[in-house]
Structure 1
């Protein structure tokens, strides 16, 4: 009779510095239950961890145990009378939860997984933009104010979804980009609008499935990215969002031989506000 395959432990025991370093280098999110030897690990949250690992998978979410007295890095957590949960992603401590608060632990896990997915998706988007021949001159994450959002979308003020768009764009951070293309390349505005794809994400998925809006947009008006309509529009947007960025009669003070395009590119896939055409 063949032996039954050994079941993978829900929580890996980290008892040495070597195992701690191995945990820091692992991909995904790791939740470490830091416990005291005299009371042992926190048992009330085990069922929650089991449920979340089944739902979210082994690749993105990991759980571990670490006795505070066994590792120098955990010295500050020694002697505590309540369990402490440390959240690590990319080798960095990203959150701390004290106490066996299951709803808070679940929310923190989901929030941190979403944040990690944002980072990964932003990297993929940046790669797509650069591979399309654009240079990212400026990339700033910022939550737009209601006043500047209304100015930015003043040309859509009469539309039915205008207030919905304003509320959404002010609800979280956007990525504000200034893009350039080298001398001799296709006009930067035309090239960017081509890469964005049709305004409606559903149309984009049918007609231009490789476009940014097809990949990252959901439905109108949340179509993932914005692009200036012409040079005058780009100059207006640059002056509004980047007032210290110098604009000349020929465009902007960019690297020699480049054209500049203002663009705002947050994505709904990441839970960020979205722009429309």
Structure 2
């Protein structure tokens, strides 16, 4: 019974304007899952929220859900079918100057686990099907020969919670469970890719190197692409790439939470500049389709 109470308290349902204002005045970061009455809140993210609150604490991280039809402030989100999350940040004014200084020092790169780049980056995943067939090294060589710089390279077996959130735009579709199961079936290799500034945009260049999503189509249309050479059939197409720059930033933030984006990427990801401590800052994220 105790665990049930914790699960209920994890995500507050906002049903009135008063509760909305109270939640958004909370110090720290508040994440609001805006849902439609006919489909309900996004269930796959609940386990991830629980993990994050355990890791980061309860004081400065808050999760809530709100039905778009119940609040006038959410009128522009009514009738949408995509999962929608709103992020509101309120600075804690009680943070001492000394604590702020320590925080900035850590952000400046003293933490060895923090990866940063001043260049535009994208996520590349060598999927479990290519890894299990021993093709990882070959693919990495081809990535480097194509002019990409590998900023970081990590072997990892994905968790179900991560992949449910990663593919949340496909939740409810027949392919959803198959994709989640495949990505959790064994180790993947996660890479953060960059390119020289005077070359093609890194997101577009990586998608061109991967080729069409379906390996059979790739073999017909782009026989030299990675999916044509190493993929077999859907969803075993060897590699993953973000659809566009916004999607790349979202995926990197999910799988590499300590990654520090360039200023240009931050502006693209947030859409608008932060308003500072004068009031809550809202960032709107609707996951895009991905190959």
Greater per-residue helix proportion: 2
TM-score by length of 2: 0.45
TM-score by length of 1: 0.47
User: Whose radius of gyration is greater, 1 or 2?
Assistant: 1
Bigger relative contact order, structure 1 or 2 (CA pairs below 8 A, ≥6 apart) = 2
